Amino acid sequence: GDSVTQMEGPVTLSEEAFLTINCTYTATGYPSLFWYVQYPGEGLQLLLKATKADDKGSNKGFEATYRKETTSFHLEKGSVQVSDSAVYFCALRPTSGTYKYIFGTGTRLKVLA
C-alpha cells in the first residue's frame, strides 16, 4: 500500500543553518505531495505542496521538489530561524478516488539561537 517515510527526529540546528528533512514515498501513479507544519498545541498548517513530477512547492523560505525518479519530496530551507521550531509532517494524497491523506511520522525541528 501507499506509505510515507520521514527521517527520524529530533533535528537540532543553530539559527541560520541549512535545513533538510527527508521524505520518501511509495505510491502508484502520481500522488499529490504535501508538507505540513505543526506548532506546539496547534493544528496542522499547510506549508507547501506539489501535485505533479518536477513541481517545486515553496513558502516562507521553505522548498520541496517532487522527484518521481527518486520518489522523494525533501523539505529544505536555506537559513532557519528560532521561529521555525515545530513538527513537520510529509503527506501524500493518492492518485485515485480518495481524499484520504497518508502522513509520515513527523520530524521535530528545534532551532537554537
Write down the least CB distance from residue 37 to other proteins, Å: 11
| β-pair type (107-112, 11-14) | parallel
Which residues on adjacent β-strands are paired with residue 3? 26
State yes or no: residue 99 binds other proteins (CB under 8 A): yes
State yes or no: residue 12 binds other proteins (CB under 8 A): no
For the segment 48-87, give every residue that binds other proteins (CB under 8 A). 49
What CA–CA distances, in Å, run from 58 to 75, 76, 98, 99, 112? Answer: 9, 9, 25, 23, 23
**How many residues bind to other proteins according to rule CB under 8 A?**
19
Binder to other proteins among 13, 24, 44, 110 (CB under 8 A)?
44
DSSP annotation of 9 reads S
Write down the least CB distance from residue 13 to other proteins, Å: 19
Binder to other proteins among 5, 11, 103, 110 (CB under 8 A)?
103
Edge to edge, the sheet with strand 62-65 lists: 19-21, 75-77, 62-65, 56-59
Binding-site ranges for other proteins (CB under 8 A) = 34, 36, 41-46, 49, 89, 93, 99-101, 103-106, 108
